[in-house]
Structure 1
């Protein structure tokens, strides 16, 4: 079973995405900011657990934003997983910053369930 970490400061977004992913059969954990997400990912590795198979990350969050989270995550010597940045920021410069930070895909909110799940499956290497 694939494990997804949702990183977003909005509880409603986390609940929305969790419902989509769990209904599709994924195991989901949540973090309310980038710092909490980084600690969660590193703790899983330190405990010998398999890290996450996918990160779904917001940009604007307190304590550590999505860009900073991905840059920090990518610097650690742990198994890396794809990351989908999901944000209200829609400028080309926002997309570029996301890819430079380590995102594999950039989606502008609101993320509709069917396309979001299609992209999750693609990032996880699953057939449609």
Structure 2
């Protein structure tokens, strides 16, 4: 899942990132309502996690403008300490798809998000990304190629999800670094090391290579027939 968290509580945001990123999801964060509305209306997300009390614009107003002005149907779950029935009614009427009160359990939030996505897709089934003979099950976090299970570290699994979601388009290095480390990438070229490890699992045992380097741009994952002639595959 690619999630937008619109929340100004830094400790809560850190907990959400720790939990969801470890399970292979990609998160963006907006610390205020205006930033949240801008990101939600200009970027593509699978779902939004939205607080009620926010600086610059409150959650219900963000919802109203998303639905009425931007005609967005992105699934939204409100995550708020406001637990009175009138608040819940107001949240749903503003356009929320679900409502979870604080404190909450992270696994429950994940299950609710999965249910929202299943309903939004019009089906109750596992979410699976597929490129050629490569599959990534976002529910079980199992990756396979040609039926063979791939053993991936969490960072490699996260890279794989980002590349598969974008396929066959290229993903800039900066976007991949942000997916792994946010605004604080480590010193050195750690991304190249992670891509090398990902290639060892995804490509090395197979004749057809799916991960390709675009010099001075980034990386792309695509079916062999989609591989551009000018593509250059290296070890990192």
Return the alpha-carbon distance in structure 1 between the equivalents of residues 82 and 70 of structure 2. 30
- Where does 1:53-72 land on structure 2 (aligned, <5 Å)? 53-72=46-65
Scaled by the length of structure 2, what TM-score is found? Answer: 0.48
- Where does 1:67-78 land on structure 2 (aligned, <5 Å)? 67-77=60-70
| Residues 1:33 and 2:26 aligned together | no
Match in the other structure for 1:48: none
Return the alpha-carbon distance in structure 1 between the equivalents of residues 115 and 41 of structure 2. 25
Contact 1:20 1:117 in 2 (8 A): no
Scaled by the length of structure 1, what TM-score is found? Answer: 0.86
Return the alpha-carbon distance in structure 2 between the equivalents of residues 68 and 81 of structure 1. 15
Deviation at residue 104 of structure 1 after TM alignment: 0.5
SS at the partner of 2:77? strand
- Where does 1:1-128 land on structure 2 (aligned, <5 Å)? 2-44=1-43, 51-77=44-70, 79-125=72-118, 127=126
**Number of residue pairs aligned between Structure 1 and Structure 2:** 121
Return the alpha-carbon distance in structure 1 between the equivalents of residues 24 and 81 of structure 2. 27
Structure possessing the higher relative contact order (Cα contacts under 8 Å, 6 or more residues apart): 1
Let me know the Cα RMSD of the aligned residues.
1.5
SS at the partner of 2:29? strand
Higher-Rg structure is: 2
Moved over 6 A (4+): none
Any unmatched runs of 5+ in structure 1? Answer: 45-50
Deviation at residue 27 of structure 1 after TM alignment: 1.0
Return the alpha-carbon distance in structure 2 between the equivalents of residues 108 and 71 of structure 1. 20
Return the alpha-carbon distance in structure 2 between the equivalents of residues 117 and 93 of structure 1. 25
